[in-house]
Structure 1
Amino acid sequence: MENKTFIRWAKISLITVYLVIIAGATVRMTGSGMGCPDWPKCFGYYIPPTQIEELLWEPYHDYEKGQVIIKDSKLKVANKDFTSNEMYQPSNWDEYTKHDYAEFNPYHTWVEYINRLCGALAGLACLILFVLSIISVAFFKASPKLIIWSGIVLALLVFNAWLGATVVYSVLNPIKITTHMIAALLNVAALIYLIYLAKDKHKHQIKYDKTFYIFTWVAMFFSLIQIGMGTQVRQFIDEQTNNGITDVALWLENPDMTFYVHRTFSFVIFFVNLYLFLRNKRLKLGNNKINWIMVLLLLEIFTGILMYYIHFPFGTQAAHLVLAAIMYGLQFAIILESKKNKPVI
């Protein structure tokens, strides 16, 4: 018997993780990753500042331990509670040692702050899910696997939060950003598997076809490769902006080989998924999710075309990544639902 409350909350948790991915994609798109240069607070505040004046040293002002200011283009952290005098006293402040980034942009700060709030919301949802798994096993005789996988989901989320901190401390190291994204996708997969475990398998399985099953694995693997290459293309764009190229029309004027492989590989992904779509329809396997994958894939290609030929209209970068993440999740769900059933005759 299905535990509908647990399944419902697992789906809510999955939505919150996707919200984190959306927020993270927006952070990447807007270049807001260093909007909060410390972690978990933001410039030493739980609610970040909105203007630079809040981060400048003031005489006769009450400061709390851990509060951050920008002084001489460096971050300074109050080492105790105190009220400032007429003159700045260096002994009251420690230099922030995680990195030397000390810029304030209120727009970037609040984009990054909202990203962290989404992460906190996902953490709360997954914590509640873990508690519900214990209740389900203890009182409703659910499978102990629910506790194990709910614990894995929660652990992955905590691990990814720590990765987020290391991304900030590294001043947006590209490898750490990519690892951060991969961890989020693992979280998605773990939650989808948890939902699958909690469901009645006989109600949700589709007809089994070995070829369809194998090619769905291939399609998902290709999607992961494509997402990885996409992060490398984004890294190339970041390098362009870091080199002072702010005109979006010039970002991909002379792209590296990764861009061309990424663009060409999209055709491979399209035809593999088209094959799955046609096979599902011809054999009447009953998997409606493949229809949604084709819709997402067309939107994915469309946003890619917009970015290249119309020079990155607002929102297309974030949409491009989020669509890929949703498609990956659907592919994994199809893999789970299309196994262990009677072969098509």
Structure 2
Amino acid sequence: YIPPTSVSQLPTNYKEKYVAERIAKNERFAKTLDKMGKVELADSIRHDQSILVPESFNVAKTWTEYLNRLMGAITGVLLIVLVVFSFVYKRVAKRIVVLSILNLLVVGFQGWLGSIVVSTNLMAWIVTVHMLLALVILAILIYTYNYALGLGQKPVVVMAKIWWLKLLIFVSIAVSVIQIVLGTEVREAVDYVSKGVNVVIRENWLEEVGKIFSYHRDMAIIVLILNLWIYREVKDKFSGKQALLIGNANGVVLLLQIGTGLILSYFALPPYAQALHILFSTVLFSLQYYLFLLIYRTTTYNQNPN
């Protein structure tokens, strides 16, 4: 299926048809939430009036969504291939097989959830769950890769005690995840302002968002401090090792992430910077998590084994 490039390629009643399909899909989702005991969430979907508002055809949004779904399909195919090849490790590391199958299932669920994100008109909490689930997928992939790579290899040995560094990186990952959640909430608040009844020029959108943007900005300072601290310790204790390479990459991505954040703040939220900001946040999370796995397998040299 190739999406249209002009409204003339759509049926005359495409708006009514799309809204009807959206309502039906959301009702099925609401019934699922009812069965899970999430009655309030289900009602919020049923009574969301924005879902009833038809959207005019937008070729840019249409093709962006098409490419997003296409990439999702390609990801699914690649994960199927990964599952097939994972059976090479069936006898020596069943965990790899289990994780590969698990990730395929999670990606399938993520694809379905993505369709719910669209049909619910980017409902706030669903967007957040969708983003967090993407991080889970990345984490499973990275863990599986690191586990397979480490089979039969001896752990790296360093002279210094690093248990506290492991804890520090773990805290940094947790803070980064919180920062990502805050970022999705800022994005949702910006959407609300941009679609509001009162006309607000783009340059003033962030001013109308409220405290959530301040929290997101302040949390960025904490992320910066933690990662600079981690980089200093990794550089000091892991010179010439893979952990240092990941630490260097982590520092570069962090600077790019901060740079795109500044562009968003001072240049009226340009769309390209929004996409890059999200991209760098996920890359930063991935590098932090991989660094944690590398440090986690590291042991401290014991000078008195007896």
Does the pair score TM above 0.5?
yes
Cα displacement string for residues 36-69 of structure 1 (whole angstroms, at most 9, x for unaligned residues): xxxxxxxxxx222221122124xxxxxxxxxxx5
Structure 2: distance between partners of 1:314 and 1:289: 29
3-state SS in 1 of match to 2:24:
coil
Matched, 1:193 2:134: no
State the alpha-carbon separation in 2 of the partners of residues 164 and 334 from structure 1: 29
What SS is found at the alignment partner of 2:270?
Answer: coil
Worse-superposed segment, 291-300 or 221-230: 291-300
Question: When the two structures are superposed, what TM-score results if normalisation uses the length of structure 1?
Answer: 0.72
Measure the CA separation in 2 of the matches of 1:341 and 1:172: 42
Which residue among 263, 275, 287 is the counterpart of 1:330?
287
- Partner AA of 1:53 in structure 2: S
Establish whether residue 181 from structure 1 lines up as the match of residue 131 from structure 2: yes
Match of 2:187 in 1: 234
Counterpart position of 2:106? 156
Partner letter of residue 221 of structure 1? A
Q: 2:17 aligns with which of 61, 70, 75?
A: 75
C-alpha separation between the residues in 2 aligned to 1:176 and 1:122?
Answer: 21
Structure of higher RCO (CA pairs closer than 8 Å, 6+ residues apart): 1
**Amino acid paired to 2:8:** E
Aligned to 2:89: 137
Return closer, same or farther for 1:279/1:162 CA change in 2, 3 Å cut-off.
same
Matches within 5 A, 1:162-177: 162-177=112-127
- 1:253 alignment partner AA: E
Distance in 1 between residues matched to 2:21 and 2:212, nearest whole Å: 43
Match of 1:19 in 2: none
Q: CA separation in 2, counterparts of 1:277 and 1:124?
A: 36
Residue 71 of structure 2 corresponds to 118
**Which deviations, in whole Å up to 9, do the C-alpha atoms of 1:261-289 show, x marking residues without a partner?**
11011111111111111111222363221
Instruction: Give 5+ residue unaligned stretches, structure 2.
Output: 26-50
Q: Mapping of 1:285-324 within 5 angstroms?
A: 286=241, 287=243, 288-324=245-281
Shift in Å, 1:103: 2.9
Q: 1:153 is matched by which residue type in structure 2?
A: N
How many residue pairs get aligned? The number is 269
The Cα shift of 1:340 comes to 3.5
Three-state SS of the structure 1 residue aligned to 2:17 is: strand
Alignment of 1:47 with 2:2, yes or no, is yes
Q: Which residue identity does 2:137 align to in structure 1?
A: N
The amino acid that maps onto 1:230 is: G
The counterpart of 1:263, out of the listed 217, 220, 229, is 217
How far apart are 1:127 and its partner, in Å?
A: 0.7
CA change 1:203–1:49 in 2 (3 A) is farther
- Call closer, same or farther: CA 1:305–1:102 in 2, change over 3 Å: closer
Aligned equivalents of 2:192, 2:211: Cα separation in 1: 15
**Structure 1 residues 105 and 204, CA, compared in 2 at 3 Å: closer, same or farther?**
farther
1:247 paired residue number: 201
Query: What is the alpha-carbon distance in structure 1 between the residues aligned to residue 67 and residue 212 of structure 2?
Result: 31
| Kept in 2: contact 1:52–1:104 (CA 8 A) | yes
Residue from 231, 235, 242 that aligns with 1:281: 235
